[in-house]
Amino acid sequence: MEEQVDRVETQLRQALPIDWEVPGALSEAVQYSLMAGGKRLRPLLVLAAAEAVAADDADTSRGAMPIACAIEMIHTYSLIHDDLPAMDNDDFRRGKPTNHRVYGEAMAILAGDALLTHAFFSITQAAKHGGLPADRALAIVEDLSYYAGARGMVGGQAADILGEQGITDIGQLEYIHTHKTSDLIVFSLKAGGRVGGATSNQLEALERFGLLLGLAFQIQDDILDLTGDEQKIGKPLRSDEKLQKVTYPYLLGLDACKAKVVQLTDDAKAALLAGELANPDRLLQFADYLMRRDY
């Protein structure tokens, strides 16, 4: 995984429009967040899904990398915008001051816009220079506009903002996390599958795997957020604290959440195996790794 992360980092650095005639502050703001670390989970899922379908095919790997970079650009844009004063108003991200704290709100919005747009450019490069057949690139663009857009991540974020005070049941929470978190994970897996030439049955298996894995990932994230704050579980929310957000542990309790993460991960792995992929091992290992992560 570390090797793959290094490869992704190298490609991301090259994918940035630093040699273009771009105002310096914009270019810096884009690079600041894109190269700020992060787990690079979604790019790794693109690469692992491509490998799961087409094993060790060098062409597949070449075609998958620009898609891996594209999804990290989308993810980074969403984090920059999520941190803005109008949204979560956060001061730190990936261990550094947030983009708007360093470059100002206007430049942070534009850095997010630039990353969103450049992601689609990156997919075209997979077709132009990475050997990705044009019909597969088209399907990936279609998926990305769906999963990252109003019916996907943006819709999930809107539901989160609209429901901030009034979430009372698990169904509402599941809707938000399906779209805010799982949709980009589902996209990553399907896109990797598409690069490798997945059948519709395999794409379905990757989609189901991603949906369940995304929910497990989000619940695990909520659990990790509670470290040191366990005493707050089940207590009435105070309007002045960050934990006012209704989370899975808040609704279900910590033990039930831990059990849910294990169950969702098992279900995800079973769903993946139903796709009869050539080489699902890395994806299966991924699922276990995410379940055990402590950061």
SS (H, E, C) 130-166: CCCCHHHHHHHHHHHHHHHCCCCHHHHHHHHHHCCCC
- Report the nearest approach of ligand GRG to the CB of residue 58 (Å): 27
Residues 235-294 interacting with ligand GRG (rule: CB under 6 A): none
Figure out which of the listed residues 30, 33, 38, 249 binds ligand GRG, where binding follows CB under 6 A. Answer: 38
- Report the nearest approach of ligand GRG to the CB of residue 237 (Å): 18
Figure out which of the listed residues 12, 153, 159, 176 binds ligand GRG, where binding follows CB under 6 A. Answer: 153
Pick 27 or 77: Cβ nearer ligand GRG = 77
Figure out which of the listed residues 27, 33, 99, 157 binds ligand GRG, where binding follows CB under 6 A. Answer: 157
Figure out which of the listed residues 16, 41, 119, 287 binds ligand GRG, where binding follows CB under 6 A. Answer: 41
- Report the nearest approach of ligand GRG to the CB of residue 185 (Å): 9
Give the pair of three-digit tokens for residue 39: 């787990």
User: Closest residue (Cβ) to ligand GRG?
Assistant: 38
Figure out which of the listed residues 181, 182, 188, 220 binds ligand GRG, where binding follows CB under 6 A. Answer: 181
SS (H, E, C) the chain: CHHHHHHHHHHHHHHCCCCCCCCHHHHHHHHHHHCCCCCCHHHHHHHHHHHHHHCCCHHHHHHHHHHHHHHHHHHHHHHHHHHCCCCCCCCEECCEECHHHHHCHHHHHHHHHHHHHHHHHHHHHHHHHCCCCHHHHHHHHHHHHHHHCCCCHHHHHHHHHHCCCCCCCHHHHHHHHHHHHHHHHHHHHHHHHHHCCCCHHHHHHHHHHHHHHHHHHHHHHHHHHCCCCHHHCCCCCCCCCHHHCCCHHHHHCHHHHHHHHHHHHHHHHHHHHCCCCCCCHHHHHHHHHHHHCCC
Pick 41 or 173: Cβ nearer ligand GRG = 41
Segment interacting with ligand GRG (CB under 6 A) among 36-44, 227-235, 266-274, 278-286 = 36-44
Give the pair of three-digit tokens for residue 61: 């790997």
The binding track of 61-100 with respect to ligand GRG, each residue x by CB under 6 A or -, is --------------x--xx-xx-----------x------
| 180 sits near ligand GRG (criterion: CB under 6 A) | yes
- Report the nearest approach of ligand GRG to the CB of residue 274 (Å): 26
What is Dmax (Cα atoms) for the chain?
Answer: 55
Figure out which of the listed residues 6, 14, 23, 39 binds ligand GRG, where binding follows CB under 6 A. Answer: 39
Q: By rule CB under 6 A, what count of residues binds ligand GRG?
A: 16
- Report the nearest approach of ligand GRG to the CB of residue 125 (Å): 22
Pick 27 or 247: Cβ nearer ligand GRG = 247
Rounded to whole angstroms, the Cα distance separating 81 from 174 reads 22
Would you tell me which residues interact with ligand GRG (CB under 6 A)? 38-39, 41, 75, 78-79, 81-82, 94, 153-154, 157, 180-181, 218, 221
